[in-house]
Structure 1
C-alpha cells in the first residue's frame, strides 16, 4: 500500500576473524547522532485530539515534530479533526502520531479506517497520553501496548535502556536521568511488545509495577508497526535533544525507514552488557576497543571468544552490530575452545557480516556454506552507520538466522566433524580498516531439549481478514475460511519448526493430499505427511511443497466465510499472507 520502505543502501560487511589486546575507555555521555543515510521523503500525520485532560505540551510536541521533519525529510500534517481518519486520507501517511490524545477520539467508522491502515502496513507512534485513549476499543489497546492506570507527581527518575540497537534508543547510554510524569500501566506490555527502556522504580516515588516497569516499547501489530514512549508530559521534554531523537527514531521505525527486532524478548541472560568483559578472551592479532558499552573491532585477523562457557543443546544467541562502511566481520558458533582463531573457521560456523562479498560469504550467510535469502536480507538490513540485530537460533543441528526480527537463513549441519550442539561463540575482528561494533550480547538456553517457542498468532490474508477454522470446530475435515479477525482460538495459529501450521491442536491440511486447483484446505489430525507441510515464500505466498501450489482464498470478493483452497501460485492478493513471527 502506502508503505515506502527505504532500500538498504550500501549494504554491510564481514567474514573470517579478528581480535587482540583490548583498550578500555569510560563510556562518554549520551550523544545525539544524525541519521546515517538520508531517508526518502514521506508524510506523517500528527493527531492530538483530546476529550479528557489536555496537555499544555501538545503545541511544543507538534513544533518539535515539524522541526524533526524539516531536518529529516518528512512532512507533518497536524490535526485534531477526527474526520481525517478515512481509508483514502490515511493511505498517504507512512506513520500516524497520537500525540497525548485522551479519551474517545474516533467514532466507529474512523476506528475501522485506522484498523485498515495498520493492517495494510501503516505505522503508529504513541506519545505519553496516547495510553490514556480509547479504553473501549480493544484493537487500540493492543496497538498502544498498554493503557494508563495512574501516575505520581512529575519528578526525576532513572530510565534503564534495555535495547540500544533500535533507532529510538541507540543514541542513549545504559541509563538516562530525566524528569517527566511517569505513567503506571494497567498491564505489563513485556509479553506482547519488545521493551526498549524501563523505569528503575527505586529511583522515584509512585511506581506500582512491581519493579518491572516498561516505559518505551515497539511491536509488530496486525500487519503494521507500533511504537510507544511514556515520556512527553512536560513542555521541556520537546526541547530535550535526547527525547527529540527518541521521537525521531520512533517515527522512522514506524514509517519503515529503519529496521529493528521488535519481537517480545524474555529469558535472555547477558554475556556482554557493555561494562564487564569477564569470561571473554582474545585469540589471534588485533582486538576490540571498549567504549560507550560497545566493542569495536580493530586489526586482525583474530577473534574475541567467550571462553567461560561452552554451549550445549539448543539455544538462541542475540547480539547487536553496526558496520561503519564496507567492513568485514562475523559471529562464530559451535567451535571448540582454542586460542587459534582459525579453529573457529575450520571447526565451527561463521555468520557473516560483509555486504559486498559473494552470496555464500555476504551478510547473513553461513560463511562458505549457504547464502542468505538475499531479498529478505536486503529488506531487513539497515545501512552502514545504523545498528542491526542478529538472532542465531540453534535447534539440534539446525541454525536459523533472523536479521532485525526477519528470518533470512535456515541451515542444517550435515558434517559429522562439526556440531552445532556443542561449542563456544565469538565475534571476529577481520583486519586493518574493518570496523564493526557489537553491543548487548545475550543468550537464552532451552536445556538442550526444548526449542524456543514457535511463532503464534493470527494469519492475515486479503482484505485484512484472518485464516479461520469454521465455527471453531475440531473435527477432522473442518473447512478453513476467511473471517473478520476476532482474536479467538479459531484464528490462533502456530508456525511449528516442522513446517506445519496448527490451530486447536490440529494441522492445516490439503484434503486427501490432492494437487488439483480447488482442493479443499481443512483442519486434520497432525500426521507428518506432505499434505500438512507449508513454507512461506519471500513474495508473501505460502506454498505446499508436495503439490507445488499455494494457499489461496477462493473467488474474488473475499467476504466472511470465503473458503480457502489449493491453487496454482500467481502471487495475487488472495495468495498473500502475513504470518506471526
Structure 2
C-alpha cells in the first residue's frame, strides 16, 4: 500500500487549468514543425525529489551450488545504496531468517546470486505467505539458478537458468524507460557481464524492461528474443529480476547500481510502474523521430533523450498519419517536472486547430491538483478518476508514469501504472471514441510535461495477459478476502477499499478471478441462491469460472447465476454469495 508521504507528494503534479472551451478568442493555429527549438519561457521550478520513507530490506545470499565472488561486492553496494536512499540492509545466509514474523519487517527480500536449494519446506511456506501478503522480491543474477523444484519460486523469478557463454560485452536493448530501474538509461546500454540464457521466456508473464541483442555477442540461444530484466505482479506481491551482476565490477558501475536501486524501490512499493505483460503494440513515437506527427496551435515540443517535452501553448501535437477506428489500447509514458499541466486527446477529427480536439474529442488529464473532474486520470470535464486508486498508483513529479487508455466500443478505461483508475462511457451522439486521432497537449509556458514511448495496439483494445486491481461493487466497496486469510474456504465479503493485497484481484484470460494466489470459488460448485462464495485453491473447475457481462454483472456460467452482495444494507463485512441475476446495485461490479 502506498505510504501517506508518497500520496501527498504525488498530488503536486500540476495546478493550472487545462484547455477548455471559452468565449474569448484563442490565438490562431500556427504551422510549426514538431520538435522545433524551444522559445524562451518562464519555467516553473521542478519539484525537489523527496526521500522515501525509511524501510528495511533483507539481502539473502546463501549458496548450495556455485558461489559468486561478487556476492561480497553486491552486499556492500546494496548497503551503500541503502545509506544513500533511506533503507536499511540486513544481510544473511541463514535460512532460519525466513519465518513469518521475521519477514514481516522487510519491504523487500533480495536474492543475491543464490544457487541451488536454499530454503526448507517451512521456510518456503513462510516466504510464499510473505509474497502473497504484499511483499517484494528482487532477484539478482544467479537468483535464477535457484530452487528448481519449487514451482512458486520459478513463477516468482520469472524464468530459470539454462546456460551461459563466456563473460563479454553485449548491447542491452532498453524496452521500458518508465520503470525506475531503467528510466535513467538510454535506448541501448553497452556493458560487460555473464549473460544468462533461460529455460523459458518470461515475456508472456512479466513486463520485460530490457533484453539482449543476441547479434551483439556470442552464445545467446533464445532465438533473438532474450529478456534480461523484468518485473511482474505475482500472487499479491511484486517481483523484479535482473540477469546482470556476475562480475565484481558490476557493483561499482553507477548505471548498474541505479538499476538495482530502481528494482528495490519498486519491489518495496516506493514507486509505481506498469508491470503487466505487454506484446502486440506498434510504436507511434519511438524516441528518435516525430514522423507522422503535426503541431496544432502555438508552442510545441522539444525532442531530447528519447522524450518529447512540452513548452508554450495552448497547443497540441497530434498524430496525423492515421485516424484510429474501432477498439484499441493506447499506451504512453509521461513525467511532470513539477507543478504542471497537460493531457492526452482521443477521438477528434483531423485539424490544425487544437480547439477541435477540445470540442469534438475527449481529454485524459495530467494535473493532480485540479478539481475532481479535471485532475490526473479524469476524463476532463466529464468524469473524475477514482481518487484513492489514482493516489495509490501515481508517482510524484520527477518520476515517470504510464497511462493505458483502452477503448472498447464507446467505453474508455484508464489505467495508471497498471492500475485501473477510471471507467467512462461516451453517451454523446456527436462524439465517438471509435473514430478519430490522438494528440498530446502543450498547455502553456512553464507547463513542462515529457512523453516517451507512445504505442498502440489495435487488436481489440486489450492488454495481453492478466489484469490486476480492485473489484468494486455496491456503495463503492471492494471485494475482499476476510482477514487476508489464504485458507481454503475463507469468506469473501465487501469492505471499504484500502488497496491491500486482500483486495487485489487478478482477472486472467482463463476466466478466473484470483487473490492471494487462490481463486474466487462457488462453494461445492453449487447453484442454489445463497451459495457461499469463497477463496479456494485454483482447480480449473466450473465453480471458478466467471464471465463479466455488459450490464455490469459477473456471472458464473456453470450455475447461470451472479456474484451478489447479500442483503440490503451492504456494510463492511457483508458476505458475497451466488444469486439469481437481477442487475440490482448489489450485482454490479467494476473489474480491473
Structure 1 position 38, deviation (Å): 1.1
2:86 & 2:150 partners in 1: Cα distance?
33
Q: Is the 8 A contact 2:538 2:544 kept in 1?
A: no
Partner SS, residue 442 of structure 2: strand
2:577 is equivalent to residue 533 of structure 1: no
Partner of residue 116 from structure 2, selected from 94, 100, 103:
103
Q: Is the 8 A contact 1:121 1:225 kept in 2?
A: yes
Partner SS, residue 440 of structure 2: strand
1:71 & 1:185 partners in 2: Cα distance?
33
Structure 1 position 533, deviation (Å): 3.3
Structure 1 position 410, deviation (Å): 0.9
Partner SS, residue 6 of structure 1: helix
Which residue pairs with 1:264 in the alignment? Answer: 277
Which residue pairs with 2:177 in the alignment? Answer: 164
Structure 1 position 468, deviation (Å): 4.6
Q: Is the 8 A contact 1:455 1:496 kept in 2?
A: no
Which residue pairs with 2:352 in the alignment? Answer: 339
1:5 & 1:114 partners in 2: Cα distance?
28
Say if 1:35 and 1:56 are closer, same or farther in 2 by CA, change over 3 A: farther
2:525 is equivalent to residue 469 of structure 1: no
1:405 & 1:141 partners in 2: Cα distance?
23
Q: Deviation per CA, 1:188-236: give whole Å up to 9, x if none.
A: 1111111111111111111111111111100111111110001001111
Structure 1 position 22, deviation (Å): 3.8
Which ranges of structure 1 fall in alignment gaps of 5 or more residues? Answer: 26-33, 537-578
1:2 & 1:292 partners in 2: Cα distance?
30
Say if 1:457 and 1:364 are closer, same or farther in 2 by CA, change over 3 A: closer
Q: Is the 8 A contact 1:45 1:95 kept in 2?
A: yes
1:205 & 1:35 partners in 2: Cα distance?
44
Q: Is the 8 A contact 1:3 1:94 kept in 2?
A: no
Q: Is the 8 A contact 1:472 1:489 kept in 2?
A: no
Q: TM-score, normalised by structure 2?
A: 0.82
2:66 is equivalent to residue 12 of structure 1: no
Structure 1 position 361, deviation (Å): 1.2
Greater mean alpha carbon deviation, residues 453-462 or residues 58-67: 453-462
Which residue pairs with 1:413 in the alignment? Answer: 426
Partner of residue 521 from structure 1, selected from 577, 585, 588:
577
Q: Deviation per CA, 1:283-332: give whole Å up to 9, x if none.
A: 00000000010000011110000000001011110000000000011100
1:456 & 1:528 partners in 2: Cα distance?
26
Partner SS, residue 39 of structure 1: coil
1:503 & 1:144 partners in 2: Cα distance?
33
Partner of residue 562 from structure 2, selected from 496, 505, 509:
509
Structure 1 position 12, deviation (Å): 1.3
Partner SS, residue 485 of structure 2: helix
Kindly report the root-mean-square deviation, in angstroms, between the aligned alpha carbons of the 2 structures.
3.0
2:351 & 2:444 partners in 1: Cα distance?
20
Q: Is the 8 A contact 1:295 1:438 kept in 2?
A: yes
2:194 & 2:542 partners in 1: Cα distance?
41
Q: Is the 8 A contact 2:566 2:576 kept in 1?
A: no
Q: Is the 8 A contact 1:314 1:396 kept in 2?
A: yes
Which residue pairs with 1:369 in the alignment? Answer: 382
Q: TM-score, normalised by structure 1?
A: 0.84
1:260 & 1:342 partners in 2: Cα distance?
32
Which residue pairs with 1:557 in the alignment? Answer: none
Partner SS, residue 300 of structure 1: coil
Counting only pairs closer than 5 Å after superposition, residues 108-123 of structure 1 correspond to structure 2 as: 108-123=121-136
Say if 1:495 and 1:108 are closer, same or farther in 2 by CA, change over 3 A: farther
1:131 & 1:121 partners in 2: Cα distance?
21
Which residue pairs with 2:206 in the alignment? Answer: 193
Partner of residue 79 from structure 1, selected from 92, 96, 99:
92
Q: Is the 8 A contact 1:474 1:523 kept in 2?
A: no
Q: Deviation per CA, 1:488-528: give whole Å up to 9, x if none.
A: 4568655736344466766662589865998872498xx67
1:37 & 1:507 partners in 2: Cα distance?
52
1:97 & 1:88 partners in 2: Cα distance?
17
Which residue pairs with 2:341 in the alignment? Answer: 328
Partner of residue 438 from structure 1, selected from 424, 448, 451:
451
Q: How many residue pairs were aligned?
A: 526
Which ranges of structure 2 fall in alignment gaps of 5 or more residues? Answer: 21-28, 38-46, 470-478, 488-517
1:494 & 1:175 partners in 2: Cα distance?
42
Q: Is the 8 A contact 2:311 2:447 kept in 1?
A: yes
Q: Is the 8 A contact 2:529 2:579 kept in 1?
A: yes
Partner SS, residue 208 of structure 2: strand
Counting only pairs closer than 5 Å after superposition, residues 110-509 of structure 1 correspond to structure 2 as: 110-446=123-459, 455=466, 461=481, 462-465=484-487, 466-469=518-521, 473=525, 479-483=531-535, 485-486=537-538, 488-489=540-541, 496=548, 498=550, 499-501=552-554, 509=562
Q: Is the 8 A contact 2:525 2:543 kept in 1?
A: no
Structure 1 position 444, deviation (Å): 0.5
Say if 1:35 and 1:77 are closer, same or farther in 2 by CA, change over 3 A: farther
Counting only pairs closer than 5 Å after superposition, residues 27-66 of structure 1 correspond to structure 2 as: 36-66=49-79
Greater mean alpha carbon deviation, residues 45-54 or residues 474-483: 474-483
Which residue pairs with 2:490 in the alignment? Answer: none
Greater mean alpha carbon deviation, residues 480-489 or residues 113-122: 480-489
2:468 & 2:560 partners in 1: Cα distance?
15
Partner SS, residue 399 of structure 1: strand
Structure 1 position 7, deviation (Å): 2.4
Structure 1 position 362, deviation (Å): 1.2
Say if 1:16 and 1:479 are closer, same or farther in 2 by CA, change over 3 A: same
Structure 1 position 532, deviation (Å): 8.6
